[in-house]
Amino acid sequence: METANMLEPTPLDERKQQILKAVVSDYTVTGVPVGSQVLAAKYFIALSSATIRNELADLVGTGYLQQPHTSAGRIPTDRGYRYFVDFLMEAESASPGVRRTVRQEFEAAPRSLDGILEKAAMVLAQVTENVSLVTAPEITEQRIKHIDLVSLEPQSVLIILVLEGNLLKQQVVHLDRATSQDDLSRMAAMLNHKVKGQTADELAARLAQLGPDRGEQRRIIERVIESIATHQAQRQTVVLHDGVRNLLRHPEFVEVSRLEELLELLEQGAQLASILQQVAFEKDVEVIIGRENTNSGLRECSLVLTTYKMADRVRGTIGVIGPTRMHYGQVVARVRLVSQATSEVLAHFGN
């Protein structure tokens, strides 16, 4: 996603920066357009209302603020929020209470990959009061932990494949000749010696090296590769989300058509997954604001996104969708906290 030209910053002097910061901070808390009298009384006692009005007018002229038709106050534009996030936002840490909540929730998380990710979505929605998003992990680069081969019929074998994170896949393969369980156990031991710790791509390279006399091994390895590819194709459109009811707390979503458009997007896993896959993650936490979003259903929203890891490698995306009027510093800190907690649990789970 590329930042629209209209959101690119133009230089602001120190006073304009502080006034913009005050408007964003006040409007985030109150949801009420901010006027010169409020700014003079709460933030700039040494400045006259007339001076502040002139500065506000300049900020409107440069596109950082706008004035609703029914109000004398100003509110931030997407460009104003972008400047605030990039240059004025103060780094925050999650409070001890939030940290305790996250820790306790993850301690009670089910010991399954899906259970952990569902818990992450639930916790993130709870602590940010926005809609959480968690993508399923990429597994094409996930390494093989173990292979078991179980005889079902004389020429039918059940392949039990265990990947990092204890992801379990099972598939039946038919061999050209009858094979005993003892032979299958020996073959499994040999395969585990050769393929343990390898990815699907590395396994495919090894497959090319097998001679024509290794037909059974070849067929089993082919099925293992197919199983990983099929599983990834099924999961790459999965985006877990939680906290839809949180949208109703925000006045920005009182308008039914706006709410319906966002809800429709949340239900379309493939489209939402595609949007998240476009995020470059040039920073550890990416903030995408309003019209920076290419999807029309997100033009009135902001996304705060980061990644989670599994086995020390990036596996998926985690973050929130909320209104552009968002406490960005707080949300960034809490998204980062839940991401770290998710990665820590998955690291222990995968061992």
User: Which residues fall within 8 angstroms of residue 261, CB to CB, at 6 or more apart?
Assistant: 296, 297
Residues of the chain with CATH 3.30.390.60: 144-235
CA dihedral angle for residue 54, residue 58, residue 59, residue 60, rounded to 10 degrees: 100
Q: What average pLDDT does this structure show over 314-333?
A: 95
**CA dist., res. 27 & res. 15, Å (int):** 18
pLDDT at position 255 is 85
* DSSP bridge partners of 34: 74
Q: What percent of the chain has pLDDT over 90?
A: 52
Looking at per-residue confidence, does 174 or 26 come out higher?
Answer: 26
- pLDDT, tens only, 221-265: 787 777 777 766 666 667 899 999 999 899 988 888 888 889 989
* DSSP bridge partners of 153: 156
Count other C-beta atoms under 10 Å from residue 260's C-beta.
12
Has residue 59 got a pLDDT over 90?
Answer: yes
212 band by pLDDT with thresholds 50, 70 and 90: low
**pTM exceeds 0.85, yes or no:** no
Residues of the chain with CATH 1.10.10.10: 5-88
What value does the mean pLDDT of the chain take? 87
Q: What average pLDDT does this structure show over 56-76?
A: 92
Has residue 302 got a pLDDT over 60?
Answer: yes
Q: Which fold would CATH assign to domain 144-235?
A: Enolase-like; domain 1 (3.30.390)
pLDDT at position 86 is 96
Closest CA to 115 of 64, 177, 166: 166
User: CATH class for domain 5-88?
Assistant: mainly alpha
Identify the CATH number of the domain defined by range 96-138+236-349. Answer: 3.30.450.40
- pLDDT, tens only, 96-153: 999 999 999 999 998 888 899 999 999 999 999 999 999 988 665 667 888 899 999 8
**Helix boundaries (H) for the chain:** 14-30, 36-42, 49-61, 78-83, 96-107, 113-128, 181-195, 200-207, 215-235, 256-267, 269-277, 328-349
Contact 332, 92 (CB under 8 A): yes
Locus of tokens 């265990």: 162
**CA dist., res. 213 & res. 211, Å (int):** 5
Q: What is the CA radius of gyration of the chain?
A: 26
Contact 318, 310 (CB under 8 A): no
Q: How far is CA 218 from the centre of its chain?
A: 38
Has residue 211 got a pLDDT over 60?
Answer: no
Closest CA to 157 of 180, 126, 127, 123: 180
Q: What average pLDDT does this structure show over 325-343?
A: 97
Residues of the chain with CATH 3.30.450.40: 96-138+236-349
Closest CA to 156 of 180, 175, 181, 184: 175
**CA dist., res. 241 & res. 291, Å (int):** 22
Q: Tell me which amino acid residue 38 is.
A: V
Helix (H, G, I), strand (E, B) or coil at 140: coil
